[in-house]
Amino acid sequence: MAATLFFWLCAFLAFFFGLGVIVARNPMHSALSLVMTFVASAGLFLLLHAEFLAWILIIVYSGAVMVLMIFVISLLNLQRDEPIEFTAARRWGVAFVVVFAAALLIYLFRDASVGFTYPPKPAISAEWGSAKAIATDLFTRYLLPFELASVLLTAAVIGAVVIARKPDPNEINGMESTGEEPSNQ
Amino acid sequence: MIGLNHYLLLSGVLFCLGVLGVILRRNVLIILMSVELMLNAANIAIAAFSRYPLFNAGTLTQEDYMTAGNGLVFVFLILTVSAAEVGVGLAVVINLYRQRSTVNIEEVNLLQG
Amino acid sequence: MTELSLAIYAAVRIGVIFSAVMTVVAFLPWIERKLIGRFQQRFGPYRVGPHGILQPIADSIKLVFKEDIIPNNADRVLFVLAPTLALITAVMNLAVIPFGPTFELFGISFGAVQVADVNVGILYIFGFASLGVYSLFLAGWSSGNKYSLLGGLRSSAQMFSYELSLGLSVVTVLMAVGDFKLSEIVLSQEGGFWNWWIVSPKWFVIPGLLGFFLLLVSAFAETNRLPFDLPEAETELVAGYHTEYSSMKFAMFFMAEYINMIVASSIVTTLFLGGWHAPLPYEPFVLAPGWMWFAAKVFVLLFLFIWVRATLPRFRYDQLMNFGWKFMLPLALFNIFLAACCLLLADRFAL
């Protein structure tokens, strides 16, 4: 009973703030709504007994990714966005999404007894969502994807630094300067 | 009793919201956030699939469950990839703002012939 | 045990821990002002009550009756939300800290002096700490004041930078213990101070000392205490993110800061200083209840916080960033490597 209530609370919050992300006129409000969506999703992860990932979600998304996002928003000094105008192309896009959502609904509800009354998997141990279980899989069976992910992260770090770096004043036509570093960095 | 479909329903709705955000909004930052919303929806679906039995559960044996990998590893990898994506994406946005003083993608059409 | 009695026990634990911490929080500013006074060869507060001990009460009465101002160009919702968030995230962290072993009152055992022994205790604390970043940033941003905005920006950048070395310094202990559970981490340090992770021979002392230093410095940065108090630097930013706050909203930031100090000290105690274990496992020491040892260690660390504040000048912003990214982070990474090697060696030679 408590679990059901908790699910609907988290689901409602996730939906409400998810809507907030796309309707808020102020980018800062969008970003904060997204943070709340992640917190609500973390609540759902807790309900699924994936407690390690629930906290990782909060730490990585709320603690790192969204802080960076908010940092950029306040650096750029953005004004309120223009209201959304519905051009023909966008109307088609929205129609497509609505059709997709309707198809999904019909598919999920085609036999209400199938997915809505499922109990969790029988063979799942109590350790399923713990750090130990995930780490065991991550470092044995999925070692290659894990290593690739770390390579990707390294590449992303270097890429982000190179792209966001302030252009060097001594740099002319893409040629790296050979002189000394500018002092007013 | 909360079943698999409840999670899938929520995940689908969140994904649609993300798509709508990408279609309707012109602010690059909000488009990035909508992409994050979609990835998050995928995460919820993956975690739910890995917690609940599949639709053809009858054909799977106990051993299949025991030897199946932990689906949460996928969520973990998606987290990594989206963190990398945001890092690079924000760097691009900053550079864009430096060059064009805008984050409206309608005004960034230099490649349009 | 029925669910009702479990709930009552939990309520008792929450009540006891919350009121105890709140009492400390009430008197911590007085202790701090007294100590700072001594460090600067003054007396500190002396007027209200004997030795000024009633000063916190006078201060809180003053704060409650002050006018509550919301600036005209503030974002009203976020302006009110920010101090609330600061207090909530600070208090939530108290829930998982193991203050002591099982305690008995009137012959009834109430379980450990800990509200909830969460499986992923340390991640729980990091999670709420990372949500706490938003409170300072939102306070700065929603005030509609450029000094506040600068303070908020600084706080988010600073906490962001030091959270990395904070997390990495904790990883060493996690590797040695093999569990996120805070109660397990405390239990792993049983039997005398030589088993505490700060000087444990299980990993040849050095990773412990380094990790302790890294965690302590990062904790200073995370709690925005001097020498890392750039977000509220009064000389350059007129108090930074809380310039526009008055009355109870200001008091909430203040309380959150002191609770965060207590939480940070508790984490350092739990991870490196043996938690509620007595320093020597012999007769006169083990007679004192565990929570007393815990409180004693926390107060030593709080004294350190105040001592550092009275001693060190504030960092410059670029020094802060360089220190975080070019010194703390590589050192923390190296420490993990070192700890892994030491643990492997110790394991190989069955020490």
What's the pLDDT tens digit per position in A65-114? Answer: 888 888 888 888 777 777 777 788 888 888 888 898 888 888 877 766 66
Selected residue of A9, A26, A30, A65 to mutate for chain B interface (largest B Cβ count, 10 A): A65
Chain C neighbors (3+ CB pairs < 8 Å): A
Q: What is the Cα–Cα distance from C24 to C31, expressed in whole angstroms?
A: 10
Secondary structure letter of residue C52 according to DSSP: G
| CA distances from residue A12 to A6, A37, B37, C222, C231 in whole angstroms, order as listed | 10, 10, 15, 32, 35
pLDDT value for A182: 44
How close A27 comes to chain C (CA, Å)?
A: 13
Tell me the backbone φ, ψ of residue C228, rounded to 5 degrees: -110, 30
How close B112 comes to chain A (CA, Å)?
A: 18
**Chain mean position to CA C268:** 8
Q: What is the Cα–Cα distance from C294 to C274, expressed in whole angstroms?
A: 9
pLDDT value for A183: 42
> Could you tell me which chain A residue has the CA closest to the CA of C161?
A64
Q: Which of A81, A95, A30, A44 minimizes the C-alpha distance to B37? A: A30
Yes or no, beta carbons of A137 and B70 under 8 Å apart? yes
pLDDT value for A170: 63
Yes or no, beta carbons of A62 and C157 under 8 Å apart? no
Q: Which of C223, C244, C69 minimizes the C-alpha distance to C147? A: C244
**C contacts of A55 (beta carbons < 8 Å):** 120, 123-124, 126-127
Exposed / middle / buried, residue A36 (Cβ in 10 Å: 0-12, 13-18, 19+): middle
Q: What is the Cα–Cα distance from C44 to C68, expressed in whole angstroms?
A: 28
| CA distances from residue C164 to A64, A171, C126, C140 in whole angstroms, order as listed | 10, 33, 11, 23
pLDDT, tens only, C233-281: 666 666 677 777 877 888 888 888 899 999 999 999 999 888 888 888 8
For residues A18, A70, A159, C323, the Cα torsion angle rounded to the nearest 10 degrees is -140
Chain B neighbors (3+ CB pairs < 8 Å): A
**A contacts of B93 (beta carbons < 8 Å):** 72, 76
Mean pLDDT of C171-194: 86
pLDDT tens digit at each of 113 positions of chain B: 777 888 888 999 999 999 999 988 888 899 999 999 999 999 999 888 888 766 555 566 666 666 666 788 888 899 999 999 998 999 988 888 888 888 888 777 777 65
pLDDT value for C299: 92
Tell me the backbone φ, ψ of residue C100, rounded to 5 degrees: -170, 170
Q: Find the distance separating the first CA and the last CA of chain B, reported in whole Å.
A: 56
Residue type, A122: P
| CA distances from residue B43 to A42, A116, A140, A150, C135 in whole angstroms, order as listed | 10, 19, 22, 19, 27
Secondary structure letter of residue C49 according to DSSP: S
Strands (E), chain A: none
Mean pLDDT of C316-343: 89
pLDDT over threshold 80, residue C83: yes
Neighbours of A5 (CB within 10 A): 9
Yes or no, beta carbons of C127 and A71 under 8 Å apart? no
Task: List, in sequence order, the alpha helices (H) in chain C.
Answer: 3-39, 55-65, 76-93, 121-142, 146-177, 182-187, 206-222, 234-237, 247-272, 283-286, 290-311, 317-322, 329-348
Nearest CB among A14, A75, A128 relative to B10 is that of A14
Q: What is the Cα–Cα distance from C129 to C85, expressed in whole angstroms?
A: 11
Nearest CB among B77, B86, B91 relative to A149 is that of B77
pLDDT value for C58: 86
Yes or no, beta carbons of B103 and A146 under 8 Å apart? no
Nearest CB among A35, A58, A71 relative to C156 is that of A71
pLDDT, tens only, C291-328: 888 899 999 999 999 999 888 888 888 888 888 889 99
Yes or no, beta carbons of C126 and A59 under 8 Å apart? yes
Residue C105, classed as helix, strand or coil, is strand
Q: What is the CA radius of gyration of chain B?
A: 19
Nearest CB among A69, A84, A157 relative to B24 is that of A84
pLDDT value for C250: 85
Yes or no, beta carbons of A97 and B19 under 8 Å apart? yes
| Residue C133 contacts residue A68 (beta carbons within 8 Å) | no
How close C73 comes to chain A (CA, Å)?
A: 14
Yes or no, beta carbons of A156 and B88 under 8 Å apart? yes
Yes or no, beta carbons of A78 and B29 under 8 Å apart? yes
pLDDT value for B41: 93
Q: How many CB pairs under 8 A join A and C?
A: 65
pLDDT over threshold 60, residue A176: no
The long-range contacts involving A141-146, CB below 8 angstroms and separated by at least 24 positions, are A141/B69, A142/B69, A142/B73, A142/B77, A145/B73, A145/B77, A146/B77
Exposed / middle / buried, residue C330 (Cβ in 10 Å: 0-12, 13-18, 19+): exposed
Residue C241, classed as helix, strand or coil, is helix
pLDDT over threshold 50, residue C133: yes
**A contacts of C163 (beta carbons < 8 Å):** 63-64
Predicted-complex ipTM score: 0.87
Sequential DSSP letters for A120-172 = PPTT--TTTTSHHHHHHHHHTTTHHHHHHHHHHHHHHHHHHHHHHSPPPTT-B
Q: How many CB pairs under 8 A join A and B?
A: 239
- Identify any residues that bridge with C100 across adjacent strands, giving them in sequence order: C113
Put simply, whether the predicted model's pTM sits higher than 0.90 gets the answer no
Q: Do chains A and C touch (3 or more CB pairs under 8 A)?
A: yes
> Is the CA virtual torsion C23, C29, C35, C37 positive or negative?
negative
* For residue C101, cis peptide bond before it (omega within 30 degrees of 0): no
Chain A neighbors (3+ CB pairs < 8 Å): B, C
Tell me the pLDDT band of A180, cut-offs 50, 70 and 90: very low
pLDDT, tens only, C14-73: 888 889 898 898 888 888 888 988 888 888 888 888 888 888 888 888 888 888 888 888
How close A5 comes to chain C (CA, Å)?
A: 18
